[in-house]
Amino acid sequence: MNNFLLRIRNRPEAGSFLGFVVFFIIFSIFGDQFFTLGNQTSLFTLTAELGIICIGVGFLMISGEFDLSVGSVYALGGIVFMMLAPHMHSLFALAIVLLIAASIGWFNGYVTTKHLIPSFLVTLSMMLIIRGLIYMITSGRITSHKGDLFVLTFFSAKMSNLPGFLSDFRPSHLWFIGLLILFHYILFNTRYGNHVFATGVNKPAAVRMGLNTDWIKTKNFMICSCFAALSGVIAVSRFRMGSPNIGLGMELEVIAAAVIGGISLYGGTGAIIGILFSAFLICMIRNGLLLMGAPPYWYSAFVGVIVLISTIVNIKLQPRKSKF
């Protein structure tokens, strides 16, 4: 029994799963309409959009870096897609958006690794630059979707052709689960995943082993930005409009979800699967408090407390990186 509890305690996603279960029970009891099918599918839609970004951020954090620009890249992806879609097939518009996002990620990685500037400062600057560009190209106005519906159907539209309660689900749910499983597999069952862990645990040692740690980190920056832009496209496709204000503060929610999901702030430790529970937990707290009639500012306080507790648990239970 003790060995079983020890194994559970050592699982990085154990805390997020416990928090998910506790708050799910609380909101199911005290929140009117919380446990309804419609509310749960809406919750999972928000979870999928947040979770897709968290996968990229989680990979990056495990390699030892941060990205504070994901909220702005999320907004830029959605806005640029809306502006391009009327002039070309939406799939080509999506490809251009992902290319732009990959370029942003490459730049973040290049400046961080080659000029030895902390990723916190690099991506904070990029966050402000991109947000300013968004306001410039939109003049602060909402952009409506006027292109074809291929991407909307492929990612965001309700699957109304399915029978019964399945008709409320969206393709984005499947994309999130699929990407979650894929990147969990990559992290724990491939050479690249081993390289990501090695880079985050001890970069000098990884370099001595012959790993190109700068390129590993840069690739993770690119993955992170692409997933943020993809999530932005999914979100604006669902609403069929995009505001220049979307994604404000999202970078903090994403990092909070990654930490709650068991990804260490030191790098080199974590599991992608915990994002399933932590992203749902973040969205569930906002939704549950709203249904319970709590003031909006309670949400920030709740998430702040959970992040603080999760950080302390990570520091106490997870091994630190070697100093040599």
Q: Which residue has the tokens 């502006």?
A: 83
Least confident of 74-78, 152-156, 224-228, 249-253: 152-156
Angle, to 10 degrees, between the axis of helix 37-62 and the axis of helix 191-201?
A: 70
The average pLDDT across 171-182 equals 93
pLDDT attached to residue 295: 82
For residue 144, the surrounding DSSP H or E stretch is strand 143-144
Asked if 261 contacts 13 with a C-beta cutoff of 8 angstroms, the reply is yes
For residue 242, the surrounding DSSP H or E stretch is strand 241-242
Residue, of 135 and 142, whose pLDDT is higher: 135
Alpha helices in the chain (DSSP H): 2-10, 14-30, 37-62, 70-84, 90-114, 119-138, 150-151, 171-189, 191-201, 203-208, 213-239, 250-260, 274-291, 297-317
pLDDT at 272 over 60: yes
Average pLDDT, the chain: 86
pLDDT at 283 over 60: yes
Q: What is the pLDDT of residues 5-21, one digit of tens each?
A: 455 556 667 777 888 88
pLDDT at 107 over 50: yes
Cα dihedral value 233, 237, 243, 249, nearest 10: -50
Say what percent of the chain tops pLDDT 70.
89
Say what percent of the chain tops pLDDT 90.
50
The closest of 158, 165, 145 to 45, measured between CA atoms, is 158
Give the separation between CA 79 and CA 73, rounded to whole angstroms.
10
Q: All domains of the chain, ordered by start, with CATH?
A: 15-27+37-316 (1.10.3470)
Give the separation between CA 279 and CA 29, rounded to whole angstroms.
21
pTM: 0.90
The closest of 207, 166, 170 to 43, measured between CA atoms, is 170
Q: What is the pLDDT confidence band of residue 164, given thresholds at 50, 70 and 90?
A: low
pLDDT attached to residue 322: 41
pLDDT attached to residue 249: 87
pLDDT at 168 over 80: no
DSSP class of 322: P
- The sign of the torsion formed by the CA atoms of 6, 8, 10, 16 equals negative
Give the separation between CA 19 and CA 278, rounded to whole angstroms.
8
Q: Which residue has the tokens 């994604």?
A: 247
